C-alpha cells in the first residue's frame, strides 16, 4: 500500500501540480509573465549564446540612376553575447509518517501537496522576481555602518548603498531614497545568508527584527561595517554569485562592471540610457529617457515603465497636476497600470514592489529574453519517482528546478533613472 501511495504522489506531482506550476507561477510577476523565452539564443553546454547586432546594414544606398549597380556591402556586424546556465530550485517536504497515515485517503495527501505546491510556486516566483531586478550576486542588505554587530550572532543591517563592501558590486546601489526596500525585506527565518566579501561567513537565520537578524549554525557571524549580506547559494561557498543576471547587470552605469554578457560596455548598442541625478520624479526626465531609448529601438518594440510604490503614487500625482487621467487601466495582457505618453507613443507605467528604491526602469520587452534549458520541472530519482529521499532522514522531498538565465539583447534600447524621489 505504501508503494501505491508513493505512486499516487508521483502522479499528482507530474499530472496535476506540474501543469499548475507551469501555467501559474510566471503570472505572479509582470517580468516573468511578459519576458520572451529563448528569443534569439542558443544553448551550448552550460552557456546561452546570442549573436548581437553591433551595426546597421551597410548595403543601403541611393542610386544615381537605374543603370548603377546596387551597393554590394553586406549585412550587419555581429558579436557574441554569452551568459551561463544557472539553476534555481525550490523544495517541499513530506514526512513518511504523513504518507503512511494517509494510506486510507490518497486525497488527503493530494490536498497537502496542492497547498504546499501553491505556496512554493508563489515563493519561487517572488524570489526569482527579486533576482530579475538584481545583478547576479544576490546582495540583499548590508551591515550597518555604525553599530553593525550588536551581539553574538546578531547582525544589524541597513539599506544597500554604494559603500557596500563586497569587491564585486558596482556603485549603482543608492540606498534608501523613498524607503521602499527595507533592509530586512528579503531576509527570512531559515534562510542561509552570507556576510562579507567572498563568503567570509555564513549562517542560518534563526530570528529577525525590522533591522537585524540572528544567525545560528555554523556559528556567530563576525561582521564589519558595510559588509554585504547576500542569499547564500546551495554550495555554501558561492558568495551569492550563482543567481541569474538581472536588470541591474544589463543596465549598469559606466562606473559599474566593464562588461555585460561577455561584451565590453562600449560595444555598439550595449550602453543603456542611464541617469543618477538626485531629484524629484518629473515628466520632463521621463520624456528625455523615452527619447534616448526609442532612438535605439526598432519601430514596433513594446515598452513598459517600472517603478516601486512611492514613485507610482508620485507619477499619479504628476498626472493629476496636469489634469490627465489617472485611472488604472488594463495596458498589458491583464496587468493594470497608468499611461505615459511621449513622442507619439503610449507606454504603461506599472508598480512592482521589487523595483530598487528610487529607480525608474524603461524596459524594452522585445530586447529581453529568459533563456531556459527546459520549462520548470520536478526532479526525479533514478527509479523515475517524483519524490526524493532526504539523506539520513525518514522524510521525502519534491524539488522544483529551472535551468535558466536572462539576457538583454540591446541594453541601449532600455533606460534607467536612479535616485528619484517623491
* pLDDT of 372: 97
pLDDT in tens, 162-210: 888 765 556 678 878 999 999 999 999 988 888 876 556 778 888 998 8
Q: Is residue 145 part of a domain?
A: yes
Q: Is residue 356 domain-shared with residue 292, that is, in the same domain?
A: yes
Q: Tell me the CA distances in angstroms from 159 to 201, 271, 343, 394, 405, one per residue in order.
A: 20, 27, 36, 41, 26
Q: Is residue 287 part of a domain?
A: yes
Q: Is residue 103 part of a domain?
A: no
Count CB atoms within 10 A of the CB of residue 207.
12
pLDDT in tens, 69-112: 666 666 667 889 999 999 999 888 888 777 777 666 667 777 88
Q: Is residue 222 domain-shared with residue 297, that is, in the same domain?
A: no
Provide the domain limits for residue 283: 272-370
Q: Is residue 365 domain-shared with residue 294, that is, in the same domain?
A: yes
Number of domains in the chain: 2
Q: Is residue 276 domain-shared with residue 339, that is, in the same domain?
A: yes
* CA 89 centroid distance within chain: 14
Q: Is residue 295 domain-shared with residue 213, that is, in the same domain?
A: no
Q: Return d(Cα 184, Cα 177) in angstroms, integer.
A: 16
Q: Is residue 380 part of a domain?
A: no
Could you tell me the three cell numbers for 222?
Answer: 563576525
Q: Is residue 277 domain-shared with residue 201, that is, in the same domain?
A: no
Global pTM exceeds 0.75: yes
The model's confidence at residue 402, banded by pLDDT at 50, 70 and 90, is very high
Q: Is residue 101 part of a domain?
A: no
The last residue of a domain, from among 177, 203, 231: 231
Q: Return d(Cα 311, Cα 271) in angstroms, integer.
A: 25
Q: Is residue 410 part of a domain?
A: no
Q: Is residue 350 part of a domain?
A: yes
Strand 420-421 and strand 279-280: the pairing is parallel
Asked which of 123-127, 213-217, 370-374 is least confident by mean pLDDT, the reply is 213-217
In degrees to the nearest 10, what's the CA dihedral of 230, 234, 235, 237? 0
Q: Is residue 300 part of a domain?
A: yes
pLDDT in tens, 276-318: 999 999 999 999 999 999 988 888 899 999 999 999 999 999 9
Amino acid at each position: 500500500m505504501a508503494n501505491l501511495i508513493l505512486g499516487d504522489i508521483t502522479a499528482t506531482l507530474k499530472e496535476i501540480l506540474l501543469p499548475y506550476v507551469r501555467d501559474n507561477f510566471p503570472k505572479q510577476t509582470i517580468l516573468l509573465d511578459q519576458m520572451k523565452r529563448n528569443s534569439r539564443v542558443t544553448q551550448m553546454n552550460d552557456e546561452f549564446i546570442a549573436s548581437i547586432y553591433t551595426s546597421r546594414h551597410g548595403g543601403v544606398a541611393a542610386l544615381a540612376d537605374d543603370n548603377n549597380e546596387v551597393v554590394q556591402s553586406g549585412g550587419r556586424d555581429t558579436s557574441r553575447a554569452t551568459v551561463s546556465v544557472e539553476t534555481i530550485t525550490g523544495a517541499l517536504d513530506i514526512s513518511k509518517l504523513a504518507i503512511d497515515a494517509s494510506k486510507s485517503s490518497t486525497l488527503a495527501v493530494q490536498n497537502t501537496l496542492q497547498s504546499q505546491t501553491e505556496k512554493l510556486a508563489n515563493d519561487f516566483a517572488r524570489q526569482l522576481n527579486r533576482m530579475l531586478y538584481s545583478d547576479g550576486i544576490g546582495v540583499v542588505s548590508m551591515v550597518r555602518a555604525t553599530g553593525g554587530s550588536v551581539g553574538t550572532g546578531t547582525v544589524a543591517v541597513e539599506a544597500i548603498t554604494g559603500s557596500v563592501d563586497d569587491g564585486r558590486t558596482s556603485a549603482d546601489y543608492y540606498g534608501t531614497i523613498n524607503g521602499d526596500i527595507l533592509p530586512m525585506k528579503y531576509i527570512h527565518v531559515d534562510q542561509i545568508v552570507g556576510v562579507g566579501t567572498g563568503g567570509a561567513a555564513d549562517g542560518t537565520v534563526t530570528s529577525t527584527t525590522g533591522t537585524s537578524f540572528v544567525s545560528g549554525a555554523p556559528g556567530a557571524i563576525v561582521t564589519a561595517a558595510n559588509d554585504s549580506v547576500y542569499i547564500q547559494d546551495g554550495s555554501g561557498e558561492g558568495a551569492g554569485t550563482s543567481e541569474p543576471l538581472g536588470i541591474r547587470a544589463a543596465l549598469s552605469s559606466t562606473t559599474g562592471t566593464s562588461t555585460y554578457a561577455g561584451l565590453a560596455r562600449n560595444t555598439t548598442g550595449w550602453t543603456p540610457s542611464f541617469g543618477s541625478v538626485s531629484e524629484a520624479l518629473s515628466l520632463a526626465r521621463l520624456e528625455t529617457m523615452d527619447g534616448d531609448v526609442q532612438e535605439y529601438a526598432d519601430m514596433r518594440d513594446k515598452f513598459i515603465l517600472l517603478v516601486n510604490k512611492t514613485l507610482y503614487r508620485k507619477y499619479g500625482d504628476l498626472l493629476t497636476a496636469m489634469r490627465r487621467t489617472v485611472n488604472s487601466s488594463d495596458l498589458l495582457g491583464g496587468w493594470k497600470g497608468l499611461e505615459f505618453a511621449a513622442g507619439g507613443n503610449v507606454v504603461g507605467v506599472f508598480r512592482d514592489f521589487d523595483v530598487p528604491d528610487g529607480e525608474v526602469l524603461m524596459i524594452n520587452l522585445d530586447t529581453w529574453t529568459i533563456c531556459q534549458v527546459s520549462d520548470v520541472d520536478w526532479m526525479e530519482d533514478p527509479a523515475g519517482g517524483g519524490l526524493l529521499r532526504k539523506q539520513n532522514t525518514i522524510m521525502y522531498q519534491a524539488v522544483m528546478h529551472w535551468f535558466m538565465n536572462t539576457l538583454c539583447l540591446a541594453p541601449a534600447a532600455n533606460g534607467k533613472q536612479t535616485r528619484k524621489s517623491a
